[in-house]
Structure 1
Amino acid sequence: MIATPISDILGGHPLRILIAPSGFKESLGPEHVADAIETGIRKVLDDNAVILRKLPLHDGGEGFARAMIAALGGVIVAETVTGPVGLPVESHLGFVGKDKKTAVLDMAAAAGLRLVPKDARDPTMTTTYGVGQLVGKALDAGCNKIIIGCGDSGTSDGGAGMLQALGVRLLDSKGEELPRADGGRSLSCLNRLCWCSVHPRLRKDAAEKFEIEVVCNIKNVLCGPKGVARVYGPQKGATPSQVDLLAAGLERLAQVAQTVLGRDISHAPGSGASGGLGAGLMMLGAKLRARSEAINEYFELDRVFEKQWDFVITAEGSLDCQSTNGKATGDVARRAKRNGAQVVALAGTIGEGADGCYGAGIKAFTSILRGPLTLEEAIVQTEALIVDGAEKVIRMIMVGLALGRRNV
C-alpha cells in the first residue's frame, strides 16, 4: 500500500474518474472491459475515495446493436445467417422505437473477424452475405430505417456478398454471374450489376421508402495507397499478393459503382468501411455517417463530458497511429482534453505511431501485458490483464498526487 493514507493524499475530495473503453477484438466487449477497469480501480480506491462512471464505447463494431437496444429500448431478434466463411452462424438484429420500425445491426454479428476461424483467415474468400440477409430481414419486417454499425469486420469483399444476398447479380464481361458468397477474390472479373431480381423494397419504383444509416469510420476509403485492402488486409490475414488481389478487385468495384451512382466513390469518405462494405451500401443509397457524430447522438457523450472529470481511463486492443484517426478512443481523448481531464489509455499492444496519441489528448498510455505471450494466451487472460493494468495505473496516479502535495 502507499505509505501516505489515501484520504490525506486526496484531501477529502474523491477522484472523479470516467471509464470509457472500447472493446478488445476477439476477447472482451466494451462493457466487460469497463467492468475489468473498475475492478482494478477498486483494488486501490474505495467508495469514499472515488466517484466512478462507466461509459463503454461502441463505435459500430461488435455489440453495437445490443448497446443501441440498451440505450434506446427495443428488442433483439435471433437470426441464423451465412457467416463470413460460408457456414451458418447465429446472429441477431434489433428493433427500436415505439413502432419497432427502426432496425439496428452490427455487421460484425454476421461477418466479424471473431467468426473467422484462425486457420481460415483468408480475406480474399470471406463474405458479407450474412449482412445482406440481416438487411433483408429488416426490409421484410417493414422497417423504414436501418442503422448499420461497421467495425470489427473479417471481410474485404466490398459488400459484394451483401448485395448478392439482397438479389443483386454480379456479372462478368460474358454476362455470367460471379460465384455467390465468394469473397473479394473474384471482384476483378466484375463487369456490371444486374438489379432485375433485387429485393422488392430496393427497386426504384418501390412504394415504401426507407433509409439506411451507416455508422462507420469515414476516414476509411476504398482504393489507393490508403485503401482498405492495403491498410487492413494484413490484419485480416492477407499476404502481400492477396492484398494486391483485393486492392485490384475493389478498384474494379469502384468503377462499376460509378456507373450505378454517377460519381467516383473510390476515395469517398467511408467507402472503405468494413472491408469496402461502405461502398456496397452506398450503392443501396445509404448515408454514411461519422461514428463519432452518431455515437454522440445515440449515447449522449456531450452530456457525459459536461461533468467535470479528473481522469478518463480509456482502452483498446491495439493503440497505434489509427487510434486517433476516426476511432472512438481519439474522440474521447479530444473531448476530455477540451474539458480539462487527464486521459490515460490501456492497450493490449502498443503499435507503430502510438506516440501520435499524445497530440490528441492522451497524456499517458501503457500496455497491459506483463511479459511475452502468444495472441491466444493474451486473449484468454485479457480480463485479468486489464484488472491488473488498471490497478497499476491508479497506483501510479496516487504516487503522482502524493508527490504533488509535498512541500518543496
Structure 2
Amino acid sequence: MPGKERPVIVAAPDSFKGSCTADAAARAMIAGAREVLGDAAEYIEIPLADGGEGTLDGLLAAWGVEARDARVLDALGRPRTARYGVSADGATAIIEAAEANGLPWVSDEALRPLEADTFGVGQLVLDALDHGVTEILLSVGGSATSEGGTGILRALGVRFLDAGGNDVKPGAAGLSSIAAVDATGLDPRAQAATWKIAVDVGFPLCGPDGAAAVFGPQKGASTGDIDVIDAGLARLATVLAERNDLPAENYTNRPGFGAAGGIALTAVALLGAETVAGADLVSEAIGLPELLARATLVLTGEGQLDAQSVNGKVVDLVARTRPAGVPLVVIAGSVALTAAESRAAGITAAFSIAAGPTGLADLVAAAEPRISETSANVVALAISQETTA
C-alpha cells in the first residue's frame, strides 16, 4: 500500500462465558479481520478479563508466559495442584484465588461455609515469593470462603488468637473468637511486596449488603450461618481496626470488601494492599493504553452486552482506554443495550453473533466461528476499501 499506513486492528475481548476464553475470542476476531484485509493490515490480540474468572488466563496470554503449578490445599484442606502466573520480567505474580479456594473444587461434597478456608491461596503466594516476585496481583472471584482472608495470612505466618492466646479455628467459625492478631511471624517478603486486590463488586464487608448476606447462600450458608459469618467478619474488622487505630467502619463499610468473603480485609489491614477494580488492574498489568495507542479499529466483546458491561467490566475498560476518535465495536452473544445506550457508553456499534433466531446452546456450540464471521462483516464495513486498495 504505497503512501498509505496499514490499518491496525485490535481485538480486546473478555471471555464469552460458557463458550470460549478471551484468548480464543481474540483469535476468532482477528481471524475474521484477516479474512477481509489479509496482509494489508496489522493485527493485535489482547485477551482481557475483569478481575474475576479468566483473569489468570487473560494475563498469561497477554504476558506470553506459561502457568506455573503449585501444590496447595483447597478450601476444605485437601491437596490439589493450582496454577498461577509470573510476568516475563519475573517481578509480578498473578494469582487467581479460586485456583485454590474456588467453589468448583469443593462441590463434590456438601458445602461447609463455616470451615472453608483460604490457606491454599496463601500457599500460592508463598510459591510466587519463592520465585522472587515483588508484586502480587490477586483476583478474588469465585470463592468458597467467607473468612476475611485469614487463611492467606496464616499461611504467611500470622496468628489469630482468642482471649486465652490460643489460635482460633480456621475458617469463618473462628472469627468471632478473635481477640488479637500476632504478626511477628509474618513472612518479610510478603510484607515488603506490593499487593493489589482485584474486586469486581462494590458490596461492603458486613450488613444486609455484605459478604455473608449477599454471597453466603451460594457458598452453602444457611440463615444461621449467615449471622455467624457476618458477626465474625465484624469482629475481625474491629480487631484489625483497633490494631491500626481506625474506626471499625473503615473496614466494615468499605465498598469492595464484601468480595470473595472479605479477602481484601486482612490484606489491606496487615499488608497495606490496595483494592482496585479488576478490569483496571488487568489494564495496568498489561499496559493496555500503550497497546491500543495505534489502533485504527478496536473490537471487543463478551457473552452478553448489558448494563453491567458498561459499569466497570471489560467493555467499559476498553471504551475508556481506546484513543479518542477510534471506532469501538462490540461483538457479543446477545446485545441487551439499545443503540443510544451503547453510544452513551462510548461504543460505536454493537453486533450479536446470532445469525437469526437461535438458542443459547447453538450459540455456545459455534461461538468461535460466529465471532469470526461477525468480525469479518464488521471490518469490511468499518475499514474503507480505499484504505487497502
Residues 1:304 and 2:294 are matched in the alignment: no
The partner residue of 1:280 within 260, 266, 280 is: 266
The partner residue of 1:216 within 173, 188, 198 is: 198
The partner residue of 2:135 within 125, 146, 154 is: 146
Structure 2 CA distance, aligned partners of 1:343 and 1:228? 35
Structure 2 unaligned runs (5+)?
Answer: 385-389
Query: Which residue is equivalent to 2:153?
Result: 163
Query: Which residue is equivalent to 1:406?
Result: none
The partner residue of 1:332 within 315, 318, 343 is: 318
Structure 1 CA distance, aligned partners of 2:270 and 2:283? 25
Q: Which amino acid aligns with 1:110?
A: A
Q: Which amino acid aligns with 2:24?
A: H
Structure 2 CA distance, aligned partners of 1:225 and 1:25? 29
Residues 1:105 and 2:102 are matched in the alignment: no
Structure 1 unaligned runs (5+)?
Answer: 1-11, 203-207, 403-408
Q: Which amino acid aligns with 1:213?
A: W
Q: Which amino acid aligns with 1:360?
A: A
Structure 1 CA distance, aligned partners of 2:268 and 2:26? 34
Residues 1:256 and 2:239 are matched in the alignment: yes
Query: Which residue is equivalent to 1:342?
Result: 328
How far 1:332 sits from its partner (Å)? 0.8
More displaced 10-residue stretch of structure 1: 325-334 or 190-199: 190-199
How far 1:84 sits from its partner (Å)? 2.8
The partner residue of 1:127 within 109, 112, 117 is: 117
Residues 1:313 and 2:300 are matched in the alignment: yes
- Could you list the per-position Cα deviations for residues 153-197 of structure 1 after superposition, in whole angstroms to 9, with x for gaps in the alignment? 3234221221232333334566654433x3x3x255243343267
The partner residue of 2:366 within 368, 384, 388 is: 384
Q: Which amino acid aligns with 2:82?
A: S
How far 1:28 sits from its partner (Å)? 4.1
SS at 1:302 equivalent: helix
Query: Which residue is equivalent to 1:86?
Result: 77
SS at 2:100 equivalent: helix
Q: Which amino acid aligns with 1:361?
A: G
The correspondence of residues 167-178 of structure 1 with structure 2, limited to 5 A, is: 167-172=157-162, 177-178=167-168
Structure 2 CA distance, aligned partners of 1:354 and 1:135? 44
SS at 1:271 equivalent: coil
Q: Which amino acid aligns with 1:331?
A: L
Structure-2 change in CA distance of 1:249 and 1:211 (3 Å): same
Structure 2 CA distance, aligned partners of 1:356 and 1:248? 41
Structure-2 change in CA distance of 1:64 and 1:159 (3 Å): same
Structure 2 CA distance, aligned partners of 1:112 and 1:358? 37
Matched length: 373
How far 1:83 sits from its partner (Å)? 1.5
Structure 2 CA distance, aligned partners of 1:296 and 1:327? 11
SS at 1:216 equivalent: strand
The partner residue of 1:360 within 339, 345, 348 is: 345
Q: Could you tell me the TM-score, scaled by structure 1's length?
A: 0.71
Residues 1:32 and 2:32 are matched in the alignment: no
Structure 2 CA distance, aligned partners of 1:355 and 1:190? 53
Residues 1:266 and 2:252 are matched in the alignment: yes
For the Cα contact (< 8 Å) 1:219–1:325, is it kept in 2? no
SS at 1:45 equivalent: helix
More displaced 10-residue stretch of structure 1: 364-373 or 189-198: 364-373
Structure 1 CA distance, aligned partners of 2:206 and 2:354? 35
Identity over aligned residues, as a percent? 29
For the Cα contact (< 8 Å) 2:51–2:279, is it kept in 1? no
Structure 1 CA distance, aligned partners of 2:46 and 2:84? 22
The correspondence of residues 5-16 of structure 1 with structure 2, limited to 5 A, is: none
Structure 1 CA distance, aligned partners of 2:201 and 2:227? 21
- Could you list the per-position Cα deviations for residues 6-29 of structure 1 after superposition, in whole angstroms to 9, with x for gaps in the alignment? xxxxxx999754221123457643
Structure 2 CA distance, aligned partners of 1:41 and 1:267? 47
SS at 1:47 equivalent: helix
The partner residue of 2:282 within 292, 295, 311 is: 295
SS at 2:75 equivalent: coil
Structure 2 CA distance, aligned partners of 1:134 and 1:212? 16
